[in-house]
Amino acid sequence: MRHISLLGSTGSIGTQTLEVVRACGDYKVCALAAGSNVALLEQQMREFSPKLVCVWTPEAAADLKVRTADLGIRIVTGMEGLMEAAIIPEADIVLTAVVGMVGIRPTIAAIRAGKDIALANKETLVTAGHIIMPLAKECGVRILPVDSEHSAIFQCLQGNERNSVSRILLTASGGPFRGRKREELKNIQVEDALKHPNWSMGRKITIDSSTMVNKGLEVMEARWLFDVPLDKIEVLVQPKSIIHSMVEFEDGAVMAQLGTPDMKLPIQYALYYPRRRFLAGDRLDFTALKEITFEAPDPVNFPGLALAFRAGRTGGTLPVVFNAANEWAVAKFLSREIGYLDIADSIEAAMNAHTVKEDPDVDTILQAEQETYAFLEQAHRS
Ligand code: NDP
Ligand code: MG
């Protein structure tokens, strides 16, 4: 039996991971971590009997301790607790599905402890890929992608030589506002942006998908995961999310991974790699589908993608600023303090104001994150 530590267990990816674990029956959950959803954590603790559980705040921990006093499970808090969950000796694999840069330190700790990483938390690779990937190599651990596009690329690469890749074709749905002009995007409300046409996901990534910022983060994520230069990565809009991504090789062959949009497939593939096993769910019906259509992304009305390419090409701390500015802006948009178009504008303003530091260590990354928040907060107030 293999053991899994699951960070972000109460979220969209976290709960789907537990569905996979429940259906497969041969993984033991040894640690769970979440932010503040103690009601769901309590249920998860009762069902999966982990050895250790982490919640972010002491208040949430106090509440959880009362709720689960009969279980005698150890409960820890904060970054220290999250790191402890990431390096728990029993775990063979750590699936990191927390949202945001809070994922960096536990991922590094888990790699150092020799754990394989199933990575959903893309912000970690975007901002610290230059640290994570060499460290994983040095420690002999695998970084297994959970993001559906990256899992698709990873699946297409099986049995092929990495140096024979000529292009990565990263597919995008284009989000709920595909085809609209900037003028028409001005008054978009939170409720509109939270409706993704194909995928049901956490709030932050759903907004990111609507602005194309998610695709920008994925371009940078792909660059680190597959060790390819940015100019070999192309984004292709494919509105129905049937093709999860493609790889073109130097002989002109294109491999693609297709399927109904279901995150349980990439989650299960990461947990059982290189094995495939049965997964319940809908199958593609090509005659009913009839066609799969493609478009180029729209750089004018959805500038998030171009800004990501700029951040990725410049490197250093600029991807941190791109990511942190987006996190700040999405949170403000969700709390209705800024408008929809202000998201991309905030990212651009923060990037323009930033002086890039090369090859940042984790402290420098987290410092750039805080400076970005402070810059935007001040600009917002004045
Ligand atoms: P959700 O918002 O649904 O879930 C986030 C999880 O992280 C929750 O369990 C939350 O706990 C937990 N969390 C938040 N803050 C902390 C913290 N400080 N310490 C510990 N746990 C914390 O997000 P998603 O599941 O949608 O996304 C997770 C990650 O996976 C993101 O990086 C996203 O970009 C990526 N991803 C998601 C996909 C999807 O389909 N959802 C697809 C591809 C990638 P709580 O609920 O208790 O606050
Ligand atoms: Mg994705």
Q: What is the pLDDT of residue 203?
A: 94
C-alpha 344/C-alpha 337 separation (Å) is 15
Q: Which atom number of ligand 1 is nearest to the Cα of residue 60?
A: 47
CA of 38 to the centre of ligand 2 (A): 27
Q: What residues have their beta carbon closer than 5 A to ion ligand 2?
A: 147-149
The neighbour count for residue 16, using CB atoms within 10 Å, is 21
Which residue out of 99, 144, 171 has the highest number of ligand 1 atoms within 8 Å of its CB and is therefore the one to mutate? 99
Ligand nearest to the CA of 97: 1
Ligand 1 contact via 86 beta carbon (within 6 Å):
no
CA of 149 relative to ligand 2 center, distance in Å: 5
**Residue with the nearest Cα to atom 41 of ligand 1?**
201
Answer yes or no: is the C-beta of 243 below 6 A from any ligand 1 atom: no
In the reported structure, the alpha carbon of residue 147 is separated from the centroid of ligand 2 by a whole-number distance in angstroms of: 5
Ligand 1 within 6 A of 98 CB?
yes
CA distance 144 to 17: 14
The CA distance from 125 to 105, in Å, is: 12
Closest approach atom of ligand 1 to CA 201:
41
pLDDT of residue 162: 87
pLDDT of residue 375: 98
d(CA 163, ligand 1 centre) in Å: 33
Displacement of CA 163 from its chain's centroid (Å): 26
Q: How far is the CA of 170 from the centre of ligand 2 (A)?
A: 9
Contact yes or no for 176/265 (Cβ under 8 A): no
Amino acid 35: pLDDT = 97
The pTM of this model reads: 0.97
Q: Of the ligands numbered here, which is closest to the C-alpha atom of 12?
A: 1
* Rounded Cα–Cα distance for residues 66 and 41 (Å): 13
**Atom in ligand 1 nearest the alpha carbon of residue 204:** 2
CA distance 7 to 85: 8
Q: Is 325 in the pocket of ligand 1 (CB under 6 A)?
A: no
Given a contact cutoff of 8 angstroms between Cβ atoms, the answer to whether 188 and 340 are in contact is yes
The reported pLDDT for the residue numbered 103 is 97
CA-based angle 245:251:256, to the nearest 5?
15
Choice from 29, 55, 67, 201 to test ligand 1 binding pocket (greatest atom count within 8 A of CB) = 201
Gap between the Cα atoms of 218 and 205, Å rounded: 11
**CB-based contact 313:216 (threshold 8 Å):** no
Q: Whose CA is nearest to atom 13 of ligand 1?
A: 35
Strand order in the sheet with 74-77: 74-77, 52-55, 27-34, 2-7, 93-96, 116-119, 143-145
Cα dihedral sign, 217-219-222-227? negative
Which residue minimizes the CA distance to atom 15 of ligand 1?
Answer: 35
350: Cβ below 6 Å to ligand 1? no
* Closest residue by CA, ligand 1 atom 32: 121
pLDDT tens, the chain, 382 aa long: 999 999 999 999 999 999 999 999 999 999 999 999 999 999 999 999 999 999 999 999 999 999 999 999 999 999 999 999 999 999 999 999 999 999 999 999 999 999 999 999 999 999 999 999 999 999 999 999 999 999 999 999 999 998 999 999 999 999 999 999 999 999 999 999 999 888 889 999 999 999 999 999 999 999 999 999 999 999 999 999 999 999 999 999 999 999 999 999 999 999 999 999 999 999 999 999 999 999 999 999 999 999 999 999 999 999 999 999 999 999 999 999 999 999 999 999 999 999 999 999 999 999 999 999 999 999 999 8
Q: Is the CB of 233 under 6 A from ligand 1?
A: no
